[in-house]
Amino acid sequence: MVNTTVLGFPRMGSDRQLKKLVEAYWNGKVTLPELTSGAQKIRASSWDQMKSLGLDFVTVGDFSLYDHILDTAIMFNVVPPRFQEHFKNELDIIYSEVASNTFDLSKWQDIYFALARGIENNKSTQNNCVGEQDCNNQKKDGGLPSLEMKKWFDTNYHSLVPEISSESDYKLVNLSLVEEFEHAKKLGHNARAVIVGPITFLYYCKLKDSLNEDSNKYSHAKKLIKVYAELIIRLENAGCEWIQFDEPILSTDIDDNIKEYFQYFYKNIDLELENQKKNLGVVNYKKKIKFLLANYFGDYNDILSLALELPFDGYHFDLVYGKKDLSESLFRNYSTDKVISLGIIDGRNIWKNDSAESETILNAALKYIPNISAISGSILCDESNPKLNRSLDYQSRKKLQSEIFKLPLLPTTSIGSFPQTLELRKYRQQYKKGEITKDEYDEFIYKKTEQCIQWQLDLGIDVLVHGEYERNDMVEFFGENMTGFTTTKNGWVQSYGSRCVKPPIIYADVSRVRPMTLEITKFAQDKAWEISNNKNIRVKGMLTGPVTIIQWSFVRNDVHISRVAEQIAYAIREEVLDLEKNGIEIIQVDEPAIREGLPLRSENHEVYKKWAVNGFKLSTSGVKNETMIHTHMCYSDFNEILPLIKRMDTDVLTVENSKSDLKLITENCDFAENYHAGIGPGIYDVHSPIIPSKKEIYTRLAALLKVFEKDALWVNPDCGNKTRTEEQVDLSLKNMIAVAKELRALI
Ligand code: MET
Ligand SMILES: [Zn+2]
């Protein structure tokens, strides 16, 4: 028998109902009971939609008020010590209730959002840190930092990173999943529960072990087995028939250590269930509930035979991104008493499904579908093409540039955007609705830009930006100004928490029709010269690179992606050259998404690196050696992509890293030892409303100065300022600039 189902359903709602609800709760406009019932309504309407589409199962557990990894962490009591301490009273009540089998979900709500968003100004945490690592994390005078974020595999969604240690006390303390299941059942749905599998969960966890330095985070699977089993028994008792364990980690290169714990957990979970049931006095303790192993985003590759030996009742195969599974031993060795789940619709893109193709896959599930990975015939393959390379190497360019720019040591700059204020958003909306004219809108944008220049001159920042007020989104803006793109009204994709983006669609050949940023950048530069009466004040041109434009769009799939990259790169190159011709001498081409595009399997890395690196170089290397090229990247393990970054050959790289407390760059020194061009490691976290203190900035800069050459270091926030308020930006930049100036005098 063939059933139809989905692995999960978008949680945000077509009109971002969830975002609005959650933000209203944060702003105190909606009460906790209203939040709860609002969320229930959103879930229920998704189930209705799944049912009316004719699916045989609905899913529960795929919904989340903020993030599904955070949900998993909360469910199993993974609360970092700083929050345990802060919420001691609340947690004591929760734990004592749990001990008497009472689970009050509402008691978790504020703790949950605090982990996600941090807490401002918490005096009680002052001077309570143990060891340097904790000190960094405590933001002594600035409250409690939220959990870090990490990209969800190769997508642009950000998950939170739970913190575990040998002291983690895993226990089942939150039953929201069971409650959701019961709700769906009451509404008459046949629901499958979706949970993040332990290995994927641990992949997202960060080990903060001060006690046990050699500890291996995956070994925590041994401890987690108990709490997972407890949860499963509760779901089974509630009448749940299927559990889907999401383990997309299987689509990555997994080492023997991960393999060992993957095998350990799923081999032993049945036994654990039986033991717990026996202890509970259940007579018929054999497992009734069924397990589906869901791997997606790629193929099982060499883990397939191991996975097939484990006691799962069904397996999901991603036949869109994991085509290789089809060709392998899949159907040859597949036991007929196991359910097979075939992912034949591309859930990550918007193209209407080719049902003839799906039929072919279904009918002859054994046939190999060749992987279209032909990157040939593109200029991006030809490393030595002069169009891809600057004529001088970095050191020689640096000499030329330092003579021209005369920047001080530790030059200060920002990443580009300035606050998208309520007023600005109102103007944009009015303009989009046709309530104000283009001239009125432009007048406002230019006024804001001028004010931003004045503001930065007052602050004394060394390299200015125009503020990016004219763009709502760094990809959408370029999409709107090039051919081959179209936009959607409701194609929302969750980025993190309540934040959503609306990726454009690339449906045809891309080219630039007109200059896109020239006018406003030139305006900003002229204003800067006029106001300061100083030709040495420079405004950075601000563009988005081809990789990020591709990663954050729905891309046509009828030509190889390197073709699309090549076309976008030519368009950006034209813009770069126009800026340069008009006196812009520092140009930043942002590539925040470069890491997330890296294929999950290393065997596919080189093809990606080729088009990604060369796409960036084609965009930027047409300039004179005197022109300074910056790039910016976020959310990356920079050590991991160091060779790729070096190949990009930029003059200055600014990176997000303050959420990782500079550890990636300072402790694990690969990066510092091997990267010798200009570098601006984000000196504070713009994602948090907390103002970084001078002391904190000083400590970080001092740490950086120990590992980087002083004339290579730039001082900047870790990402754009657009989500902050003007006041927050002002105070943060003031502190940052003051510290840079102080330190400059000392080194
Ligand atoms: C996500 S990276 C953002 C870079 C962009 N220039 C900005 O400042 O917003
Ligand atoms: Zn960024």
pLDDT over threshold 50, residue 120: yes
Taking every pair of Cα atoms in the chain, the longest distance, rounded to a whole number of angstroms, is: 87
pLDDT number for residue 664: 55
pLDDT number for residue 366: 44
pLDDT number for residue 107: 94
Which residue lies with its CA nearest to atom 8 of ligand 1?
720
Helices (H), strands (E): how many in the chain? 27, 21
Domain coordinates in residue numbering, the chain: 17-66+148-363, 81-146, 399-644
C-alpha span between 274 and 233 (Å, rounded): 10
Strand order in the sheet with 463-464: 463-464, 538-544, 586-590, 628-633, 652-655, 678-681
DSSP character string of 717-745: -SS-STTS-HHHHHHHHHHHHHHHHHHHH
pLDDT number for residue 132: 33
Which residue lies with its CA nearest to atom 3 of ligand 1?
720
Would you say 467 and 419 are in contact if contact means Cβ atoms under 8 Å apart? no
Q: Which atom of ligand 1 sits closest to the CA of residue 588?
A: 6
- Is 183 part of any known ligand binding site? no
pLDDT number for residue 286: 83
Of the pLDDT bands very low, low, confident and very high (cuts 50, 70, 90), residue 138 is: very low
pLDDT in tens, 428-461: 999 999 999 999 999 999 999 999 999 999 999 9
Q: To the nearest whole number, what is the mean pLDDT of the chain?
A: 90
pLDDT over threshold 60, residue 122: no
Give the ligand whose atoms come closest to the C-alpha of residue 656. 2
pLDDT number for residue 687: 85
Three-class HEC string of 311-330: CCCEEEEECCCCCHHHHCCC
Fold of 17-66+148-363: TIM Barrel (3.20.20)
| CB neighbourhood size of 214 (10 A) | 5
Please enumerate in sequence order all residues whose Cβ is within 8 A of that of 354, keeping only pairs 6 or more positions apart, or say none.
Answer: none
3-class SS of residue 221: helix
At 193, phi and psi to the nearest 5? -85, 130
Please enumerate in sequence order all residues whose Cβ is within 8 A of that of 363, keeping only pairs 6 or more positions apart, or say none.
Answer: none
- If one residue of 632, 652, 687 were mutated to test the ligand 1 pocket, choosing by the most ligand atoms within 8 A of its CB, it would be 632
DSSP character string of 29-89: SS-HHHHHHHHHHHHHHHHHHHHHTT-S-EEES---SS-HHHHHHHHTT---HHHHHHTHH
pLDDT number for residue 365: 59
pLDDT in tens, 592-601: 999 989 999 9
| CB neighbourhood size of 513 (10 A) | 9
Tell me what the mean pLDDT of segment 563-591 comes to.
97
Q: Do the bridges between strand 148-151 and strand 505-506 make them parallel or antiparallel, or are there none, so unpaired?
A: unpaired
| CB neighbourhood size of 317 (10 A) | 26
Tokens read off for 475:
């990809």
pLDDT over threshold 50, residue 119: yes
Would you say 492 and 500 are in contact if contact means Cβ atoms under 8 Å apart? yes
The number of residues making up the chain comes to: 747
pLDDT number for residue 353: 85
- If one residue of 415, 463, 716 were mutated to test the ligand 1 pocket, choosing by the most ligand atoms within 8 A of its CB, it would be 415
pLDDT number for residue 381: 80
Least confident span in 335-339, 450-454, 621-625? 335-339
Angle at 380 between CA 377 and CA 386, to 5 degrees: 110
pLDDT in tens, 540-560: 999 999 999 999 999 998 888
Which residue lies with its CA nearest to atom 6 of ligand 1?
416
- Bigger pLDDT: 1 or 658? 1
- Bigger pLDDT: 595 or 639? 595
First to last CA, the chain: 74
pLDDT number for residue 123: 42
DSSP letter at 368 equals P
**Residue whose C-alpha is closest to residue 160's, from 210, 216, 206:** 206
C-alpha span between 730 and 523 (Å, rounded): 22
Q: Which atom of ligand 1 sits closest to the CA of residue 415?
A: 8
- Is 220 part of any known ligand binding site? no
- Is 714 part of any known ligand binding site? no
Least confident span in 24-28, 126-130, 247-251, 313-317? 126-130
Distance 472 CA to ligand 1 centre (A): 11
C-alpha span between 396 and 318 (Å, rounded): 49
Q: Bridge-partner residues for 293, per DSSP?
A: 245, 315
Instruction: For 263-279, give one letter per residue: b (16+ CB within 10 A) or e.
Output: bbbbebbbebbeebbee
**H/E segment holding residue 423:** helix 422-432
Least confident span in 553-567, 646-660, 666-680? 666-680
pLDDT over threshold 60, residue 462: yes
Please enumerate in sequence order all residues whose Cβ is within 8 A of that of 480, keeping only pairs 6 or more positions apart, or say none.
Answer: 487, 504
Does the domain at 399-644 match CATH 2.20.25.240? Answer given as no
- Is 719 part of any known ligand binding site? yes
pLDDT number for residue 489: 85
Tell me what the mean pLDDT of segment 473-502 comes to.
91
Pocket residues for ligand 1 (CB within 6 Å)?
415-417, 468, 474, 542, 590, 592, 632, 634, 719-720, 722
Which residue lies with its CA nearest to atom 7 of ligand 1?
720
- Is 468 part of any known ligand binding site? yes
- Is 632 part of any known ligand binding site? yes
pLDDT number for residue 24: 97
| CB neighbourhood size of 689 (10 A) | 16
Which residue lies with its CA nearest to atom 2 of ligand 1?
592
- Bigger pLDDT: 638 or 659? 638
Do domains 17-66+148-363 and 399-644 share one topology? The answer is: yes
Distance 721 CA to ligand 1 centre (A): 8
Tell me what the mean pLDDT of segment 683-703 comes to.
92
Of the pLDDT bands very low, low, confident and very high (cuts 50, 70, 90), residue 663 is: low
pLDDT number for residue 377: 63
C-alpha span between 337 and 334 (Å, rounded): 9
3-class SS of residue 571: helix
Distance 331 CA to ligand 2 centre (A): 44
Tokens read off for 589:
């081409």
Reported ipTM exceeds the 0.95 cut: yes
Of the pLDDT bands very low, low, confident and very high (cuts 50, 70, 90), residue 382 is: confident
Residues carrying an active site annotation? 687
Distance 632 CA to ligand 2 centre (A): 6
pLDDT number for residue 333: 58
